[in-house]
Every structure is written in C-alpha cells, then in structure tokens.
Amino acid sequence: MAKRIEVKDLDIYYDKFLAVQGVSMTIQPRSVTALIGPSGCGKSTFLRTLNRMHELVPNARVEGSVVMDDDDLYGPNVDPVNVRRQIGMVFQRANPFPTMSIYDNVAAGLKLNNKRLKKSDMDDLVERSLKSANLWEEVKDRLHKPGSGLSGGQQQRLCIARAIAVQPEVLLMDEPCSALDPISTQAIEDLMLELKANYTIVIVTHNMQQAARVSDTTGFFNLQGVGKPGELVEIDETTRIFSTPSQKATEDYISGRFG
C-alpha cells in the first residue's frame, strides 16, 4: 500500500481551454501533500486528474504524464474505473449514499470489487474501515441506520471509511473540512495524521493553517494572470513553504497579502 505518484509536465484542458499548465511534482508515499492557492487556480482540477475524475466533464483531457510507481495512469488501455479503485477520493461535501445504511455505505466499494465476499469477512472489513476512520465507537450500535442521519463531521468520516474500505494506494481529499465546524475538522485532521502511516494522502485546502498542521509537503498553485491558466508556483517541505518560500508570490499568499 501507499505508492508514489510522479507528475510530469501536466497540462489540463477543458475542450480547447487550457486550465492548468505545466505541473510537475513528486507525491511521496506515506506522507500528506497539501495543495494551497487562491480560488480558481486549478488545484482541485489538478487533484481530480490524479484519479481521472475530471473526465466526467465532457471533452476534458490532459497532456503530460501521471505515473503511480510504474503504472502510467493515462497509458493506453488503462481503464479509469481501475484507476479510481486504487486512488480513493473524499469530497468537499460529505456524500454518503442517502438510501443506504451506514454499513452498506462502507461496504459499497467492497461489493463492487469482490462480489463473493463472505458475510463475516465483509463485517470485519467494515469494522476495520470504520475503526480506521475513527467512527466505529460512534456508530457501532446503529450500523443499519441510514448514513444521512449522522452529523456533518461523522458523515465525512463515513465517506473516508468508504474510501479506505477498498484499500486504495492513495487518498485524495478535496477540501474535506470546508463544510465542518472546528471540532469535526480536528477529528479529520487527526485522522489524516494516522492514515498517512498507510496511505499516500493529497489534500486540497483553502485553510493555510490546516496545510501547515497536517502536511509534510505543500504545493502552492496560482494563476499566471487574469484569464491565463493556473500553474504550480512551487512545492517544497511544508516548514520551508511557511517560513522561507523561494517565490515572492508564495510569500505574499501565505502572509495574507492577497487571495
């Protein structure tokens, strides 16, 4: 588990519109990589190219390469469905399936992959996933109640449990705490620090303190100018980005001079 992702000269297009240009970075396994930057700079777009979710937009495409260990994610004959089974994702708004119970939400991905999993094995996996997501104690007595009955923070942890139940290599998180209160946010941040022992985690966040708290590496995205594509300005160890960044734009952004 936990693989390295190597991104080289990635350009992201929506039809003819170039949204993000020339991103190269190495995402280290068993670490948290945070992506920060002003709204509309393409950091979420970039995140979604890592598991090919951006392809849901018609005519979206990329140039350049994304390689996970030795597998080219955009190689010929690569099925995006298989990419997404290895690279899980958690979204800005918690999105448990409203018609499913807590148990079924966690089991949803498992049922896709192993159709003939024994009931007891399934129970174990669901329990382990919920424990990993620090949610087990809160829901173990109501596993078969609807997931939509949980609080926002619990729902988000349920979504994390659902994502890690299929044992992905990488976990992508697109502003996972932006709709949560501080207590729930802290629960998720603690969880990230635990999960990075086993997973490669990439998180997009608007909250710079959050990036400073949870990440080992931070990448700063910015627009090249009005109406121009977004770019990766710099990426470095988090401590360095927040103390002595090498680029003026990064310093301006983290010191609150713009954005």
Partner 1 sequence: MASSTEAPPRKNRVPRRPGDRIFAGVSTGSGVLILVALAGVAVFLVTEAWPALTAPAEDIPGGQGLVVYIWPLLFGTLISAVLALVIAVPLAVAIALFITYYAPRSIAKALGYIIDLLAAVPSIIFGLWGMNVLAPVTVDPASWLSQHLGWIPFFAGPPSSTGRTMLVAIIVLAVMVLPIITAVVREAFTQTPQLHQEAALAIGATRWEMIRMAALPFGRSSIIGASMLGLGRALGETMAVAMVLSASAGGITFNLISSENPPTIAANIALQFPEATGVGMHTLIASGLVLFAITLVVNMIARAVINRRKDFDGAN
**The binder of partner 1 chosen from 4, 30, 84, 206 (CB under 8 A):** 84
**The binder of partner 1 chosen from 13, 14, 74, 97 (CB under 8 A):** 97
How far is residue 254's CA from residue 243's CA, in Å, rounded to a whole number? 9
Count the residues of the shown chain that bind partner 1, applying the rule CB under 8 A: 27
- CA 101 from centroid of its chain's CA atoms: 24
**The binder of partner 1 chosen from 88, 219, 229, 245 (CB under 8 A):** 88
CB 36 within 8 A of CB 205: yes
**The binder of partner 1 chosen from 62, 159, 170, 211 (CB under 8 A):** 159
Asked if 53 interacts with partner 1 (CB under 8 A), we say yes
Query: What is the pairing mode between strands 230-237 and 217-223?
Result: antiparallel
**The binder of partner 1 chosen from 24, 63, 98, 144 (CB under 8 A):** 98
Running DSSP on this structure, what letter comes out for residue 181? Answer: -
CB 110 within 8 A of CB 129: no
How far is residue 233's CA from residue 246's CA, in Å, rounded to a whole number? 10
**The binder of partner 1 chosen from 51, 184, 215, 238 (CB under 8 A):** 51
- CA 102 from centroid of its chain's CA atoms: 21
Backbone angles phi, psi at 101, to 5 degrees: -75, 170
Q: Please give the full DSSP string across 112-165, using - where no structure is assigned.
A: HH-TT--HHHHHHHHHHHHHHTT-HHHHTT-TTSBGGGS-HHHHHHHHHHHHHH
Min dist. Cβ of residue 148 to partner 1 (A): 4
CB 171 within 8 A of CB 202: yes
Min dist. Cβ of residue 163 to partner 1 (A): 7
Q: List the x/- string, 99-138, binding to partner 1 by CB under 8 A.
A: xx-------xx--xx-------------------------
Between 21 and 51, name the residue whose CB sits nearer to partner 1: 51
Between 113 and 224, name the residue whose CB sits nearer to partner 1: 113
Asked if 176 interacts with partner 1 (CB under 8 A), we say no
Structure tokens at 125: 């996996």
Min dist. Cβ of residue 238 to partner 1 (A): 26
**The binder of partner 1 chosen from 3, 43, 162, 196 (CB under 8 A):** 162
Asked if 219 interacts with partner 1 (CB under 8 A), we say no
Interface ranges with partner 1 (CB under 8 A): 51, 53, 56, 81-82, 84-85, 88-89, 91, 93, 95-100, 108-109, 112-113, 146, 148, 159, 162-163, 166
